[in-house]
């Protein structure tokens, strides 16, 4: 394989032209039946979903379509130097047919595949075939000039040249020569056009992808930073708190052992102190656990965890919950800590005497709204707790919206996607 054909431009060699033509011909011969087959099977399979058969077949058919599209991606990269990044969503492992089918049909990449198939069987086929045609057609012109014209006594159109005798057959050969000259420049480019066409239809929106990558990189960095800071805090709390107290307990026990016979009264006093230390160590550990993963959240889920949170607030709070089932643990946890932070803010700064919390889940979104009747004026700015909440929600593609006109009321909405 030469670099010239790979790039599809610049100086091309005879071998490169031949190679492009052969590849184009092979592509055309495979892509037409392949695309037609994939397209028909997909249509039939999807149409059969209402009667159930489609549920079983669709995952297989669409996986086949993906394999076909992926093979074409490989060819585009190897033969045309055109990279077409696949943008399929990961399929649920070992899920039931319904979930697999729905997951496949909800993936925009699936619909891009299906849109690509008709394009591939028409324009794709033509652009793949043209390089071969451009190379073979001149050969026919030369064949006519050599004597093939005699086979057509009634005249024959070669391109726009009517071949009726040896003279016009030479004309055909001349046209063939011109075509061959053109093929010299065009053949690899035409194959390149085919691959670029494939990319245009099959490839994801590059700008969209680039933006997505940028956002993911940013939120990942935030998540890594936040969890590193969190680990440091936990380590420090354990080290300075519970761990130190338990060491003290151990030391006191040693002293008690020594004092037991000599000075029982002092030993007794020390025992009381030791017990206090162990109680304090326990309560510190309890606080630490609450900060990492609140027990009620683990035991009951988000709804009751927020209810329990509301019970501890010094402000009268109403909670309404409409959460069918439980979301994934990380999503629940993120929502809980976001609500907790928003509530802390409201209690500290708003001056409100009533708070309403509304939790509900619909259309794959977990939504939490915290409204207070305070003085308003809350902003997501540097230094405010809300900015931190927004950053941490970013990891989950969640968003934070604040409506807080001066004079109140303040309404903070948190939205996290959850499948």
Partner 1 sequence: MRVVLAEDLFLLRDGLVRLLQAHGFEIAAAVESGPELAAALAELDPEVAVVDVRLPPTHTDEGLQCALDARRKRPGLPVLVLSQHVEQLYARELLADGTGGVGYLLKDRVFDAEQFVDAVRRVAAGGTAMDPQVIQQLLARRSGDDRPLARLTPREREVLELMAQGRSNAAIAGRLVVTERAIAKHTANIFAKLGLEVSDDDNRRVLAVLAYLDHGR
Nearer to partner 1, 214 or 354 (CB): 354
Interface with partner 1 by CB under 8 A: which residues?
A: 275, 278-279, 282-283, 286, 289-290, 295-296, 298-300, 304, 307-308, 311-316, 353
CB 250 to partner 1: min, Å:
17
CB 94 to partner 1: min, Å:
23
Tell me which residue of 59, 66, 61, 70 sits closest to 95, measured CA to CA.
59
CB 39 to partner 1: min, Å:
49
CB 412 to partner 1: min, Å:
22
Nearer to partner 1, 43 or 282 (CB): 282
CB 388 to partner 1: min, Å:
25
Tell me which residue of 227, 231, 218, 219 sits closest to 417, measured CA to CA.
219
CB 324 to partner 1: min, Å:
18
Contacts of 384 (CB under 8 A, 6+ apart): 345, 378
Nearer to partner 1, 189 or 349 (CB): 349
C-alpha distances in Å from residue 82, one per residue of 4, 198, 210: 14, 9, 17
Q: What span, in angstroms and rounded, lies between the C-alpha atoms of 284 and 269?
A: 23
Nearer to partner 1, 107 or 252 (CB): 252
Nearer to partner 1, 70 or 280 (CB): 280
Nearer to partner 1, 332 or 415 (CB): 332
CB 270 to partner 1: min, Å:
15
Q: What span, in angstroms and rounded, lies between the C-alpha atoms of 135 and 333?
A: 65
CB 244 to partner 1: min, Å:
18
Q: What span, in angstroms and rounded, lies between the C-alpha atoms of 368 and 371?
A: 10
Nearer to partner 1, 373 or 384 (CB): 373
Nearer to partner 1, 143 or 315 (CB): 315
């Amino acid at each position: 394989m030469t670099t010239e054909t790979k790039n599809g431009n610049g100086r091309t060699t005879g071998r490169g032209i031949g190679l492009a033509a052969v590849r184009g011909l092979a592509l055309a011969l495979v892509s037409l039946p392949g695309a037609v087959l994939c397209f028909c099977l997909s249509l039939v399979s999807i149409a059969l979903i209402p009667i159930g058969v489609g549920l079983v077949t669709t995952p297989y058919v669409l996986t086949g379509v993906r394999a076909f599209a992926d093979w074409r991606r490989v060819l585009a990269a190897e033969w045309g130097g055109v990279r077409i990044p696949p943008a399929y969503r990961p399929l649920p492992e070992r899920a039931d047919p319904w979930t697999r089918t729905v997951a496949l049909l909800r993936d925009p990449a699936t619909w891009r595949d299906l849109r690509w198939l008709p394009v591939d069987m028409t324009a794709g086929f033509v652009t793949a075939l043209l390089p071969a045609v451009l190379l073979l057609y001149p050969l026919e012109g030369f064949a006519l000039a050599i004597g093939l014209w005699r086979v057509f006594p009634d005249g024959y159109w070669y391109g726009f040249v009517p071949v009726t005798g040896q003279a016009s057959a030479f004309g055909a050969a001349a046209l063939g020569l011109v075509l061959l000259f053109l093929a010299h420049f065009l053949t690899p480019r035409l194959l390149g056009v085919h691959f670029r066409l494939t990319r245009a239809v099959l490839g994801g929106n590059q700008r969209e992808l680039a933006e997505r990558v940028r956002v993911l990189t940013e939120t990942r960095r935030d998540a890594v930073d936040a969890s590193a800071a969190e680990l440091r805090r936990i380590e420090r709390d354990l080290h300075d708190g519970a761990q130190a107290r338990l060491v003290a307990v151990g030391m006191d026990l040693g002293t008690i052992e020594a004092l037991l016979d000599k000075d029982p009264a002092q030993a007794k006093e020390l025992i009381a102190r030791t017990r206090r230390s162990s109680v304090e160590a326990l309560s510190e550990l309890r606080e630490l656990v609450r900060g990492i993963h609140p027990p009620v959240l683990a035991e009951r889920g988000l709804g009751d965890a927020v209810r329990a949170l509301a019970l501890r607030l010094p402000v009268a709070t109403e909670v309404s919950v409409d959460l069918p089932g439980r979301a994934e643990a990380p999503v629940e946890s993120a929502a809980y800590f976001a609500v907790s932070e928003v509530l802390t803010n409201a209690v500290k700064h708003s001056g409100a005497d009533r708070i309403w919390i509304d939790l509900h889940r619909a259309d794959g979104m977990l939504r939490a709204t915290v409204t207070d009747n305070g003085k308003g004026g809350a902003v997501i700015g540097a230094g405010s707790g809300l900015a931190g909440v927004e950053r941490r929600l970013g990891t989950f593609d969640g968003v934070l919206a604040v409506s807080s006109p001066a004079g109140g009321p303040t309404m903070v909405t948190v939205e996290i996607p959850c499948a």
